[in-house]
Amino acid sequence: MGVVTADLVRLDAVTHLRGTTAVLSDVSFSLPPARLAVLAGRSGSGKSTLLHLVAGIMAPSRGEVTVDGKPATAVDDWATVSLLPQRPALAPELTVAENAHLPARLRGHEPDPGLLARLGLDALAARPAHDTSLGEQQRTALARTLTLSPAVALLDEPTAHQDDEHVALVLAALTGAVAGGTLVVVATHDQRIIDLADELLPLHSGRLDRAGQDLLG
C-alpha cells in the first residue's frame, strides 16, 4: 500500500436513487486506515449499495464518495480498493489457488503463501472452483479480495455461507488485514462481526443512524 490520507474513505451528503426511490439518503462519514468498519442493518437498508459506491462501480446520484482523496469511480486498482460481492464470482475453470492469487499474478507479485491456509483452503488449493461448496467459494473470493493487502477491502456479508468453525477463520482474516493496515468495511447483520467493529455505521432505511453509531463511543 502507498501513502494514504487520514480520511481514506469519505462520503459527503451522499444520496443514491434507484428510479425515484432513495436507496441512500444524505449519508456522510469518513474512515481512516487500519480499522474494521461495519455497515449494520436489515436487508434493504442500503448496505450493499453503499459498498458499491465506495468500490466505484457506480456514482452517487448526489454527493461525493472519495477514496484517498480521489473520486471512487476513478480508482480502478485492486491494491487500492478490492470488493467481495455477495456472489463469489469466481472463474469456475480455475483452481481455488488460481482464483485466490489472480490479482497478485496479474501484477507479477508473489501472493501471500499462508493466506489459503489461514482460511482453511490449503487442502483445496488445486481443486477447480466449480468443484467446491458455496462456503469454500466464498472464502476463496475473500482470499482474492485480501491477496494484495489492499488499502480498502469491501466485504458484503462475508460470513453468510460459513459454519461456526469457518466463521472463526473469516473473523481472524479480517482482524489480520486490519492489523496489516487495511481499512476493512463489512456489510453485515452478523453480530459476531459487529462485536469486533472499530467503527459501527448502522443504516436504517438508507439513512445513517447516528444514535446507533454512538454506541461504540
Q: Which of 140, 155, 28 is nearest to 81 (CA)?
A: 155
- Cα Rg, the chain, nearest whole Å: 17
**Is 213 a residue whose pLDDT tops 70?**
no
Q: What per-residue confidence (pLDDT) applies to 212?
A: 55
User: Mapping DSSP to helix (H, G, I), strand (E, B) and coil, where does residue 91 land?
Assistant: coil
Q: Identify whether the C-beta of residue 84 lies closer than 8 Å to the C-beta of residue 142.
A: yes
The tens digit of pLDDT for each residue in 67-126 reads 999 999 999 999 999 999 999 999 999 999 999 999 999 999 999 889 999 999 999 999
For residues 3 and 16, give the distance between their C-alpha atoms in angstroms, rounded to a whole number: 30
Going along the chain from its start, the domains and CATH numbers come out as 9-216 (3.40.50.300)
**Percent of the chain whose predicted confidence (pLDDT) is above 70:** 94
Rama region for 120: left / alpha / beta (φ>0; ψ in -120 to 50; rest): left
Phi, psi torsion values for 137, nearest 5 degrees:
-65, -40
d(CA 12, CA 27): 7
Label residue 6 by pLDDT band (50, 70, 90).
confident
Q: What is the mean pLDDT of the chain?
A: 94
Bigger pLDDT: 42 or 198? 198
pTM of the model: 0.93
In the predicted model, is pLDDT for residue 210 greater than 90?
Answer: no
* pLDDT at residue 8, as a whole number: 98
Going by pLDDT thresholds of 50, 70 and 90, the confidence category of residue 44 is confident
Instruction: Report whether 150 contacts 83 (CB < 8 A).
Output: no
pLDDT single digits (tens) 138-170: 999 999 999 999 999 999 999 999 999 999 999
